[in-house]
């Protein structure tokens, strides 16, 4: 049975392919379109999934989409009748629904050859999120939680997963949303772009939670684990907010009302400097989010007495909160898959459909994120040949090193010497994190490496941290918590005595957003880090995404473009090594 799963007409559009209950391929549309968070119909991601499986669209038995227009219909009608929101808001929502109505029509336009004749399944947004966490987790039984902005008129859902079944216990409905709270405050702090919430997470450790009482006026916790917004501080429930989700980067209009500035003071413009007040507000936003999130988790643990929790939704990308779950709640096991946000809904929709049709079917465990395109050595060589003159002009040397040990020794030595290395290997990662196949790797021991990276390539805010990739077997020696973090979705405290040894990956609060690297799931990256450890005594490298203010590179041509237009020192492209002379 072949199931095509989609997150369509929303930010981070994506597609995946599941064959007989096992994931075959998954990718986000932005990697092919080269537009961050691309929203619309994921035609190129679908094309890749079909190509990876070696099939045509006519071979697909089922199409699963992570949106159900009929979900919570009476809640929607009741809210509209009771609150009578701006007519423009209602018409805008109806127009969006109509645009998304027929996935089959979009497929027919994008793929004019053999057509899809299978069955279409609409899967409620948060059920897809819950499935994307639980159905690919290692847990036979777990509490499952989804928290985000909005999807199908809800902003959160929770329940219990057992075997193939997920029982949804309760949800939080429009207009109340922790995701909207965090997004609105992100806008207030002068970060207006879709997906900028991670900047607030990075800024928060520089401040103190001096505005936490004010945040508690904005969000109120409720019995049963839920929460409510004080709607005086928001616009999304009564006015038409500018949303653009069609064939491009998503944009969202201002979500907060003037009352928020009355409470916290003037909002920061994007070009204004960051002051201590902004640091404190960021810390207070993060603290309130954690307070609400842990309140929900504590309630669910008391109710179900299960040790494991699987987390998804856009707020599931809050790696700082995720890393505190085992310290701040009774849960002992945490799983967050690599695309916890809306892209992951493609996988969730596919697995909901698989388990509905095959109640006794096998469980799939996602223990790595390498589900994207791969390129053979001949393709990599052709890409280099196409850039031969430009490489020559920039005084670059190209050599092929087939021996893995020699290639890892050369790369590890370059990293230890302070060089910035592009590392392009194997299949592209699924989700927003580069995890050792489309990565830039550097020396974590250098205090100036953050400045070097920002000057040479990333050109991003100085307060944002860089992450460590560490050998799984070394985690207990370097971090205060020990757990599986293969997808860089949790932040742990680095042991105090180790922090001076790795200043480039130690955030201002002593934390690091680690990736645990296993020999079984990525033997080449594991060997590179082992070789660096043998040279330096440090079992980790600094790992950041292979890009420059663009989506992470997908194809070798994009890796070469990024290398040539920046001041990267070395590029390891499969077996090919490109160095500047």
Please tell me the distance from the alpha carbon of residue 469 to that of residue 485, in angstroms, as a whole number.
10
Count the Cβ atoms, other than its own, within 10 Å of residue 192: 15
Please tell me the distance from the alpha carbon of residue 347 to that of residue 33, in angstroms, as a whole number.
20
Q: Does residue 339 surpass a pLDDT of 80?
A: yes
Report the pLDDT value the prediction gives residue 114, as an integer from 0 to 100: 81
Count the Cβ atoms, other than its own, within 10 Å of residue 30: 26
Q: Identify the band that residue 388 occupies on the pLDDT scale cut at 50, 70 and 90.
A: very high
Enumerate domains of the chain plus CATH numbers. 2-125+344-357 (3.30.420.40), 146-341 (3.30.420.40), 377-580 (3.90.870.20)
Q: Does residue 90 surpass a pLDDT of 90?
A: no
Q: What is the pLDDT of residues 48-81, one digit of tens each?
A: 999 999 999 999 999 999 999 888 777 777 877 7
Model confidence pTM above 0.85 = yes
Distances in Å between the Cα of 427 and the Cα atoms of 12, 328, 369, 578 are 19, 36, 9, 20
Section 483-500 average pLDDT: 97
Section 375-397 average pLDDT: 96
Report the pLDDT value the prediction gives residue 75, as an integer from 0 to 100: 78
Q: What is the pLDDT of residues 265-276, one digit of tens each?
A: 999 999 999 999
Section 419-427 average pLDDT: 98
Helix 345-357 crosses helix 125-134 at what angle (to 10 degrees)?
80
User: What is the overall mean pLDDT for the chain?
Assistant: 94
pLDDT-above-70 percentage for the chain: 96
Q: Does residue 156 surpass a pLDDT of 80?
A: yes
Report the pLDDT value the prediction gives residue 460, as an integer from 0 to 100: 80
Cα 428 → chain centroid: 14
Tell me whether strands 511-512 and 492-493 are parallel, antiparallel or unpaired: antiparallel
The alpha carbon dihedral of 479, 482, 484, 490 has a sign of negative
Q: Which of 98-112, 244-258, 301-315, 374-388 has the lowest mean pLDDT?
A: 98-112
Q: Does residue 31 surpass a pLDDT of 80?
A: yes
- Compute the C-alpha angle 135/294/344, nearest 5°: 30
Report the pLDDT value the prediction gives residue 491, as an integer from 0 to 100: 97
Q: Identify the band that residue 337 occupies on the pLDDT scale cut at 50, 70 and 90.
A: very high
Please tell me the distance from the alpha carbon of residue 217 to that of residue 526, in angstroms, as a whole number.
47
- Compute the C-alpha angle 350/352/355, nearest 5°: 105
Report the pLDDT value the prediction gives residue 455, as an integer from 0 to 100: 84
Q: Which of 94-103, 237-246, 399-408, 567-576 has the lowest mean pLDDT?
A: 94-103
Q: What is the pLDDT of residues 437-488, one digit of tens each?
A: 999 999 999 999 998 998 888 778 888 899 999 999 999 999 999 899 999 9
Residues 6+ apart with CB under 8 A from 449: 418, 442, 443, 466, 504, 542
Report the pLDDT value the prediction gives residue 387, as an integer from 0 to 100: 95
Please tell me the distance from the alpha carbon of residue 412 to that of residue 408, in angstroms, as a whole number.
6
Say if CB 189 and CB 203 are below 8 A apart. yes
Q: Does residue 190 surpass a pLDDT of 90?
A: yes
Q: Does residue 99 surpass a pLDDT of 70?
A: no
């Amino acid at each position: 049975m072949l199931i095509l799963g989609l997150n369509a007409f929303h930010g981070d559009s994506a597609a995946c392919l599941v064959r007989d209950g096992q994931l075959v391929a998954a990718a986000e549309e932005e990697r092919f379109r080269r537009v961050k968070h691309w929203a619309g119909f994921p035609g190129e991601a679908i094309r890749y999934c079909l190509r990876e499986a070696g099939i045509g669209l006519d071979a697909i038995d089922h199409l699963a989409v992570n949106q159900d227009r009929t979900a919570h219909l009476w809640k929607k009608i009741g809210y509209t009748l009771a609150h009578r929101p701006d007519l423009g808001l209602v018409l805008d929502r109806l127009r969006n629904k109509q645009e998304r109505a027929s996935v089959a029509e979009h497929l027919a336009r994008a793929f004019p050859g053999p057509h899809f004749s299978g069955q279409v399944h609409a899967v409620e947004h948060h059920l897809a999120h819950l499935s994307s966490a639980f159905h690919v987790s290692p847990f036979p039984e777990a509490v499952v939680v989804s928290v985000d902005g909005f999807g199908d008129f809800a902003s959160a859902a929770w329940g219990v997963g057992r075997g193939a079944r997920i029982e949804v216990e309760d949800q939080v409905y429009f207009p109340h949303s922790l995701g909207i709270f965090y997004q609105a405050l992100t806008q207030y702090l002068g970060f207006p772009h879709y997906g900028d919430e991670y900047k607030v997470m990075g800024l928060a450790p520089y401040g103190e939670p001096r505005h936490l009482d004010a945040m508690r006026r904005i969000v109120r916790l409720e019995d049963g684990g839920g929460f409510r917004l004080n709607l005086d501080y928001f616009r999304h429930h009564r006015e038409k907010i500018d949303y653009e989700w069609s064939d491009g980067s998503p944009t969202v209009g201002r979500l907060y009302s003037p009352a928020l500035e009355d409470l916290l003071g003037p909002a920061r413009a994007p070009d204004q400097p960051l002051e201590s007040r902004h640091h404190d507000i960021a810390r207070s936003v993060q603290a309130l989010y954690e307070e609400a999130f842990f309140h929900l988790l504590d309630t669910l643990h008391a109710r179900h007495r299960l040790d494991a929790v699987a987390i998804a939704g856009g707020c599931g990308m809050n790696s700082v909160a995720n890393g505190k779950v085992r310290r701040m709640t009774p849960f002992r096991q945490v799983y967050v898959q690599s695309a916890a946000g809306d892209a992951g809904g493609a996988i969730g929709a596919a697995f909901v459909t698989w388990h509905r049709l095959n109640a006794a079917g096998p469980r799939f465990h996602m223990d790595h994120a390498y589900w994207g395109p791969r390129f053979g050595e001949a393709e990599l060589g052709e890409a280099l040949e196409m850039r031969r003159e430009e490489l020559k002009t920039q005084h670059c040397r190209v050599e092929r090193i087939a021996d893995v040990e020699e290639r890892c020794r050369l790369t590890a030595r370059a990293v230890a010497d302070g060089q910035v290395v592009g590392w392009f290997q194997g299949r592209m990662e699924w989700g927003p994190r580069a995890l050792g196949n489309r990565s830039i790797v550097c020396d974590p021991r250098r205090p100036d490496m953050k400045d070097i990276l920002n000057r040479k390539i990333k050109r991003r805010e100085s307060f944002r941290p860089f992450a460590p990739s560490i050998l799984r077997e070394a985690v207990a020696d370097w971090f205060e918590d020990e757990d599986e973090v293969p997808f860089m979705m949790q932040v742990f405290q680095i042991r105090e005595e180790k922090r001076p040894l790795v200043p480039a990956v130690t955030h201002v609060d002593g934390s690091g957003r680690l990736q645990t690297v296993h020999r079984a799931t990525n033997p080449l990256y594991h060997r590179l880090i082992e070789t660096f450890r043998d040279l330096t005594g440090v079992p980790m490298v600094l790992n950041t995404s292979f890009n420059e203010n663009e989506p992470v590179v997908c194809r070798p041509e994009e890796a070469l473009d990024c290398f040539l237009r920046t001041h990267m020192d070395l590029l390891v492209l499969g077996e090919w090594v490109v160095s500047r002379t």
